[in-house]
Every structure is written in structure tokens, then in C-alpha cells.
Structure 1
Amino acid sequence: MRAVTYSETGPSRVLRLVERDQPAPGPGEVRVRMVRAGVNPTDWKFRATQMNGEYDEVAPGQDGAGVIDAVGPGVAGFAEGDRVWLVLAQYGRWLGTAAEYTVQPVERVVHLPVGASYDLGASLGVPAVTAHRALTAGEDVSRLSPGAMSGMTVLVAGGAGAVGNAAIQLARWAGATVLTTVSSDEKAALAIAAGAHQSVNYRVADAASELRALCPEGVDLVVEVALAQNVGLDVEVLRNRGTIAYYADNGGAEASVPVRGTFAKNLRLQGLLLYTLGADLLEAATIDVNAAAANGAIRVGDEVGMPLHHYPLEELAAAHDAVEAGAVGKVLVDVAEE
């Protein structure tokens, strides 16, 4: 089979197109013929800074979608021919989704809903599961479903990004009012297309005043991509017992938290990382995200503010470079014909 791998850390030029033996599924595993792979910032950051534990070679890619073509012993609920999407495919393993075939434990395999495209399936894992955890990190909602966030207001920082877009769509599906902060009119248009009710440019002189005018009682939860940069704004606009759920260190690796402002409002700061989420939260997220996808409530494409950028497998390095350069939208790799 064809795969793109690296055997040393560094820039995208360390990626190589290679031929490898087709893997066989073991107990509790399935083999997936990949159709589409998703590229996330975590992929290029991991490639650039560290190898993968005991493995001397890594085929990157946490997200993807394809068709099961072999089932290992003891597997229930999956069969050859099932369309599926993957989550955390390369975590703790050498073989991710940048290959014609990958073998995965069933815990990382999810049935792709009828009518859902492989493009959508390859776009769900890291962004949508991260967004789900952020939206359920407060004390009010632990699972997402239609109406679960009715009456709540969510502020999504960076609403034009992949996680931000997923958070907007999932929060809208769950019944929340969604505000978002963006850096330009172009990104505001993308966030509104995703479903945000209102957007505010965080670069204006007093973004906090604009947000308070939109939600005088204070927002319930902030989905935050740049805590170091935005924590002061977040604390100012949150209601009592609100939550900041942060999933990245954009804007700075260390944050100065307003101590009195946070304890006076009984605020919660919840960090989250997909890799250490835990099996229970990961399962809850995939179930809810899949329900939203089946309902048509989470989608990709220009019409929902998530433009798609396709690259062939042999150009994975260019796909990594595009994500590293801040491509607006979702970068996908076409591994095989549908």
C-alpha cells in the first residue's frame, strides 16, 4: 500500500511517499480503506517537534473517513463495507490516516451516517470532538442534543477556525445563542455562515462593551483558542458561574488570570486536550457529534463557512504547509476514489 511517512522530526520535507505492506487487523480491530484524510494543526506540530514513542516511522493523521474492508477477531457492530470515520487514529500508533489502509481499534471507529460525505467524516474528529468537550465543560450541560443548551449564550473565540466552526454549529444544534469574536470582516462572514448570531471584531477598541450590549446578562460559556490574549475579555463578559473552556495556546503560552475577577464571579477555567480526554468523554462526544451529523446539523463547505481544500496523498507535505500557514477552512487529503 502507499503511505506518507516520516522517520525524523522537522519541516514538511521529511515526509516521504513510500510502499508498505498492507496491515492486518488484530483482535478488536478493523482495517479501513481510506478515502479521505483530514489535516489538523496537531499533525504538523507533532511532525515538527517529536516522534511517536517506540516507533521509528510514523504515517501521520488523526482524522479520516473510509470503508471497512477487514474485521479482526472479537469485533461486534462493524462489518466489511461499513462507511466509517476515525478519531485519534495515529495517537499511540505508527499508522494514522495518511495511507491507503489503516488498522484501528473499534473504540476509534464511528459509523458514518447515511448521506454524510467522506469530506464531512474526515473533518469531524479533532475539531468536532474538541468543540463538543468545550461546550460540555461547564456545570450546566454534559451532553449535546437538540434543546440541551436552550436559553444559554455561548461565545466562540476565533469562530472562523475549524474548532470554532464546529462549536458554532454544535451549539446552534443544541439550541444556544452563539456570539463569536473574529479578526476581520471576511472571517465574520464565515462565522455567520456557520450559524453564529452575531460577530464582534476583537481588535476594536472595546470589544467587551460590544459583547455586553449583545448579552447584558453575561455569556454562559466561552470556547477559547487564545487564553493568554483573551482571558481579560472573557472574564469581563462571562456571567456568574460561567466557564472558559480553552483548547490551544494561540496568542501566548502563559496567561495572566484576573484573580479577583474570576473568584468574584465563581468562574471555571477548564483546559482540554483531545489525547487525554478519557474514554468516557470521547465516547460521549462521538455519539453526540454523530447524531448532529446524521441530523445535518454539522456540515462542511462554503455554505457553512468551512471552505474545503483538497490535496492528493502524494502532496501531503503541501497540505501540512497549508495548515501551518493558517489556511482558512478545512484541508483534506484525497487518498482514494469514493
Structure 2
Amino acid sequence: MKAIWYDGFGPAKDVLTFGEMADPEPGPGEVLVRVKASGINPSDVKLRGGARPGAVMAYPRVVPHSDGAGIIESVGADVDPGRVGERVWLWNAQWQRAFGTAAELVALPDTQAVPLPDGTSFAEGACFGIPAMTAWMAVCGDGPVEGQTILVTGGAGTVGRYACQMAALAGARVITTVSSAEKGAHSTAETWINYRTDDVAGAVMDLTYGLGVDRIVEVDFAANQATSLALVKPGGVIASYASASEQMPRLEFYPFMFKNVKLHMLICYQMALADHRRGEAQLTDWLEAGALSHAVVPGGRLADCAAAHELVEAGQKLGTVVVDI
């Protein structure tokens, strides 16, 4: 099979190799998927670059990318052979594993290949593993949100845009923060605030008649901690999936405690399978109803992976960069 791999950390054009590798074989409980599209997330490029503190190569060779979509080509023992030919989207393909979706074929556990509705493209399916499931976990992972007011910070981001849509579909009122009118439109939210020009806390309090919000889907916990503390209602939830501005922020413990706030620091890689299944089912319902829109940024073909990684690193794109296999 053709694949992209790296044998050591470094810049994309220096370490990513395009070439031939042996075809994988599905083991017991696994499926072999013919990959049609591979999604590239910031975590993929950070991992390839060795950006994590104390990073070491976990495997001698890595085929990157956790997200993708394709068609099941064969199955291993203990897997229903009726799954052969099924269109699927993939998650955690390269989480604690050497070989991800940047290849023509990938073998992975049967549970990590989810049926993809016929009306959803492979490129769209390659956006679900990390962006869509992180958004679902942040919005719906703690239970129903119908009737709540939810603030989504960074609503134009890959996770934020899905979160805005999912919160609205789940019956919540949505307010989001963005850095421009273009990004406000991209977010899909009816109500957005430009955090570069406006007082976010004051604007949200005006919009909620001084009540604040029930839930915050947070893109940068450290940068927004003071604002979040001011806006979250007593008994509210802050569901944060990143803190890029400061990885070890000073926590305002007692102010949060006296508002009885729940802080949920989440990562979709560690979702319990039962929770993942709930998210998959709700995502499928929305997809089959045509209720979700997707922001796919074309990343070229598999051989163009280095340039696609650089596109993610540049941070200017609106959506998930996807390479066609």
C-alpha cells in the first residue's frame, strides 16, 4: 500500500515520507479499511513535530492521523463478515498505535469503525473522530442541555463550529465568541461576539439579562478563566478541551467553588466506549436528518501530506484539512 510515515520528529517536509509499505492484516476483533479520506488535526502535526513536553518516539515508525473514513475491505476473527463493504468513519486510529489513516489501508478495532450514512461524504466523515466527537462531549457529554444557554468560545474553530450546531440542535440557546465577522458567519451561531473589539463579559450579561450562562464550551481555559468565572451561573459547567495559552494555569479555586461550578477537562481520546456510542448515535441521527454542516478544507492527495500539515500549522484555515487517499 501507499502510505505516509515518519521515523523521527521534525518539520513536515523533512520527516514525512511518501512510499510503499506492506499491507496490514486485520487481527482478531479488527477490520481492514480501505481509506478514502484522512483528516489532519492540530494534535497530529504537534505529535509529528515533537511539540509535547518530553516527547519521544513511541514507535520506530509512525503513520500519522487518527481520523479518517473509508470502506471495510475485510474483517478479522470474531467480527461480523457482513461488515465487509460498509462505509465507515474512523476514530483513534493512531491513538496509542503506530499506524493511522495516512495510508491506503488501516487495520483497527471493529469498535473504531462507525457506519457512515450514505448522504455523508468520506471527506466529511474524516472530520468526526476528533472535532465532532470533542464538540459532542463538550456540549452533550454531561446530559441534556435543552433550555440552557451555552457560550462556545472560538466558534469558528473546528470543534467550536460543531459545538455551536450541536448545542442548537440539542435545544440550547447559543452564544459564541469569534475574532471577525467572517468567522462569526462561519460559526453558524445566530449570536456572536467579537472578542477582539467587544467586552465579552458585558455583552454576554446584556444578552442574558444579567443571568449568565449555564455551560461554557471552552477553547482556552487559561486565557478565558476570569471571563468564564464571571459568566458561568452557580451550578454551571465549564467544559474545556484546551488551554494553549498556558498549560499550567493558576486556578481560582475558591471563586469557582463558591459558585458550585463543575470544571470538566475533556479529551475525546479517553471517552468511555459507552459515551462514545451515545455520541455516535446522536451524530448519526443529525447526519441522517441533514442537520449538520461540515467545514472541509481540501488538503490534496496523500503525497501532498507535508503541505497539508503546514496548512494546519499556519492556523489560518477555517475547517478540517482533509487529504484524499
Bucket of the pairwise TM-score, normalised by the shorter protein: over 0.9
Aligned to 1:7: 7
Aligned to 2:28: 27
Q: How many residues are matched?
A: 318
Aligned to 1:213: 206
Aligned to 2:164: 168
List per-residue Cα deviations over 1:31-84 (Å, max 9, x = no partner). Answer: 11011110000101111114552x211100110010111111110385211100
SS class of match (1:234): helix
- From 311, 327, 332, the counterpart of 2:322: 332
SS class of match (1:34): strand
AA matched with 2:7 = S
Aligned to 1:245: 239
- The answer to whether the Cα contact below 8 Å between 1:168 and 1:178 also exists between their aligned partners in 2 is yes
Aligned pairs for 1:16-95 (under 5 A) are 16-49=17-50, 50=55, 53=58, 55-76=59-80, 78-95=82-99
Aligned to 2:251: 257
SS class of match (2:10): coil
1:187 matches 2:183: yes
Alignment partners' CA distance in 2, 1:52 and 1:282: 28
Unaligned runs of 5+ in 2: none
- The answer to whether the Cα contact below 8 Å between 1:32 and 1:66 also exists between their aligned partners in 2 is yes
- The answer to whether the Cα contact below 8 Å between 1:51 and 1:58 also exists between their aligned partners in 2 is no
Alignment partners' CA distance in 2, 1:75 and 1:230: 46
Deviation at 1:218, TM superposition (A): 1.7
Alignment partners' CA distance in 1, 2:82 and 2:227: 47
Alignment partners' CA distance in 2, 1:88 and 1:27: 18
Range with bigger deviation, 16-25 or 290-299: 290-299
Aligned to 1:303: none
Structural RMSD (CA): 1.6
Alignment partners' CA distance in 2, 1:231 and 1:153: 18
Aligned to 2:304: 315
TM-score, normalised relative to structure 2 = 0.93
Deviation at 1:211, TM superposition (A): 0.6
Aligned to 1:231: 225
AA matched with 1:48 = G
Aligned to 1:199: 192
Alignment partners' CA distance in 2, 1:78 and 1:288: 24
Alignment partners' CA distance in 1, 2:64 and 2:45: 9
Unaligned runs of 5+ in 1: 142-147, 301-305
1:150 matches 2:146: yes
Aligned to 2:276: 282
Aligned to 2:109: 105
